[in-house]
A and B are shown apart, each in its own frame.
Chain A
Amino acid sequence: MIPVFGLLLGVIAGLFLDVSVPLSLQPYLPIAIVAALDAVFGGIRAVMEGIFDSKVFVVSFVANVLIAALIVYVGDQLGVGAQLSTAVIVVLGIRIFTNVATIRRHLFRA
C-alpha cells in the first residue's frame, strides 16, 4: 500500500514542481519510463515471492533506466534509434507482461 502512495506522491510532485527535461534528453524519457516500470514490477514480484532485496532493486532500477536510455542514444548516433527503441520496448514489454501475470497469480490465485 505504501509504495502506491509513493507513486502518487511522485506524480503529484512532478506535476507541481514542473520538472522540465532538457530538450536533448526528451527522446529518452518514454524509454526510461518503460525501463523503470520493468524494474518496479520485477521488485513487486520479488516482494510477493519473498525474495525482495532493496540493494538489487535500487541497482536494477537505476541500471535499467540508464542502459535503456544509453542503448537508444547510441542507436540515435548510428541512425537506428527508432529500431533500437522498438527492440528495448519489446523486450521490456514482454518482461513487464510476464511479471504482472505472475503478480496477478499471487494476488488472486488465478
Chain B
Amino acid sequence: MTVSGKETVATRPRDASMSLLNNVFAQPMDPGYAQAAAKRAESGQTTPLGQKKGLSVALIAGMLGLGLLLSAAILQAQGSAGVVSAERAGLIERIRAQESTTERLQETLADLQSSISELEDSRLQSSGAGQRVREELQLLQGSAGTSAVAGPGVSVVLDNAERPEEAERPDMARVLDLDLQQVVNGLWAAGAEAISVNGQRVSALSAIRMANDVILVNSRPLSPPYYVQAIGDSRTLPNHFSDGPGGEFLRSASAQWGIRYSVRAEESIELPATSVNLLYANNAGEAS
C-alpha cells in the first residue's frame, strides 16, 4: 500500500496544481477551429468552403465590431475625464471666490477697527480727563495686545534640525509647541513687554499648541522658521533670556536634537495687534 501510494505520488505531474494555468497556455486558440478543420478533412474538403469569402466577411465584421467597441470606449473615457476636470475647475473657482470674499471682509474689518480707534482718540482728546483716559487706554491696549506696538527688543529665530528625517528621533528634531512655549515664557520672564510669533501677537488668550505636526498660535497655522519677537529693554533682555530658563532650554534642545536657533538684540521692532474678544467675562463691578 505504502509503496503504491508513493508511486502515485511520484508519477503525479509536478505542476498538477497549476492545471488551470497550463490549460490556458496550452489552448490559447478556440478548439473549435481544430474541430472544424478535422471535420472538413473527414468530409474530404481540402480547402475550407469558400475560404477567401469566409475570411473576408467574418473577419472584417469582427474587426469592425472591435473597432466600434474601441472607439466607443475611448469616447467614453474622454467624456468622463472631461466631466471630472470640469467639476474640479468649478470647485477651484468657488474656493477662489470665497477666499477673495474673506479677504474683502477682513479688509473692511481692519478699516472699521482703525476708524473706531480714530473716533475714540478724537473724542477723548477734547477734554483733560479724556486725555488721561486715552493714555491709560493706550497702555492697557499695549499690554493686552489689542494695539500694535513698536520699540527696541530681541528676536529669537527657531528652526528644525538640518535633516530631521535622518535624525535619531525625527519627532524631536523638529521645533515643537513645547519649544516655542519655553521660549515665549522665557522672554516674559526676562522682562519682555509684548511678544509675537511669526506675526501673531501673543495675548492673554493666545495658545501655542500643536495639531497634526503644525504649530498653531492664535489658532493660525505657522511654518518654520519661527521668528519670536519681543519688545523690552534691548540691553538686558537678550542676556536675561540667555541666562534664564528659556535660554537654557534652547541650549539643551540644540545640543541634544540639533534644533537651530539664534538670539539677536533689535533696535526697533513692530508687533501687530491681535483681537481679544471677551464674550462671557464682564467687569466684576458691572456684573454684580
- Chain B 84-131 interface residues, beta-carbon cutoff 8 Å to A: none
Q: Which residues A36-72 have CB closer than 8 A to chain B?
A: 36-37, 39-40, 42-47, 49-61
Residue contact A40 to B29, C-beta cutoff 8 Å: no
Contact-residue bracket for chain A: 35 or more
Q: A42 touching B63 by the CB < 8 A rule? A: no
| Residues of B contacting A91 in the complex (Cβ-Cβ under 8 angstroms) | 24
> B36 — nearest CB in chain A belongs to which residue?
A53
Task: Say if the beta carbon of B32 comes within 8 Å of chain A.
Answer: yes
For chain B residues 35-73, which have a beta carbon within 8 Å of chain A?
35-37, 48, 51, 54-73
**A51, B33: Cβ atoms under 8 Å?**
yes
Could you say which of A6, A9, A19, A43 contacts B72, with CB atoms under 8 Å apart?
Answer: A19
Interface string of B176-217 (1 = CB under 8 A from A): 000000000000000000000000000000000000000000
The answer to whether B33 and A29 touch across the interface, beta carbons within 8 angstroms, is no
Q: How far is the CA of A28 from the CA of B71 in the complex (A)?
A: 14
Q: Are B75 and A10 interface neighbours, CB within 8 A?
A: no
A59 and B32 form a contact (CB under 8 A): yes
Q: Among A3, A46, A102, which residue has its beta carbon within 8 angstroms of that of B60?
A: A3
Specify which chain A residues have a CB less than 8 angstroms from the CB of B10 in the assembled complex. none
Q: How large is the interface on B (under 10, 10 to 19, 20 to 34, 35 or more residues)?
A: 35 or more
Which one of B33, B70, B75, B76 has the greatest number of beta carbons of chain A within 10 Å? B33
Residues of the B chain whose Cβ atoms lie less than 8 Å from the Cβ of A6:
59-64, 67
Report the Cα distance A48→B33, complex, angstroms: 12
In the complex, chain B residues whose CB is within 8 Å of the CB of A57 = 58-59, 62
Q: What residues of B have a CB within 8 angstroms of the CB of A94 in the complex?
A: 21, 24-25, 28
B30 within 8 A of A: yes
The residue that B57 contacts in the complex, of A42, A54, A59, A96, with Cβ under 8 A, is A54
Question: Is A78 an interface position by the 8 A CB rule?
Answer: no
A29 touches B69 (CB 8 A): yes
Question: Would you call B3 an interface residue if the criterion is a C-beta within 8 Å of the partner chain's C-beta atoms?
Answer: no
Instruction: Give the residues in chain B near A86, CB-CB below 8 Å.
Output: none
B34 at the interface (CB under 8 A from A): yes
Residues of B within 8 Å of A19, CB to CB, are 68, 71-72, 75
Partner of B36, one of A5, A12, A56: A56
A53 to chain B, nearest CB (A): 4
Q: Is the CB of B28 within 8 A of A42?
A: yes
CA distance A78 to B25 in the complex (A): 29
Q: Are B29 and A37 in contact (CB under 8 A)?
A: no
9 contacts between A and B (CB under 8 A): A3-B62, A10-B63, A10-B65, A15-B71, A19-B68, A42-B28, A50-B37, A94-B24, A94-B28
Chain A residues close to B by CB (< 8 Å): 2-15, 18-21, 26, 29-30, 32-33, 36-37, 39-40, 42-47, 49-61, 91, 94-96, 98-99, 102
Complex A-B, nearest 8 residue pairs according to Cβ-Cβ distance, in ascending order: A10-B67, A14-B71, A54-B58, A54-B54, A6-B63, A98-B28, A6-B60, A51-B37
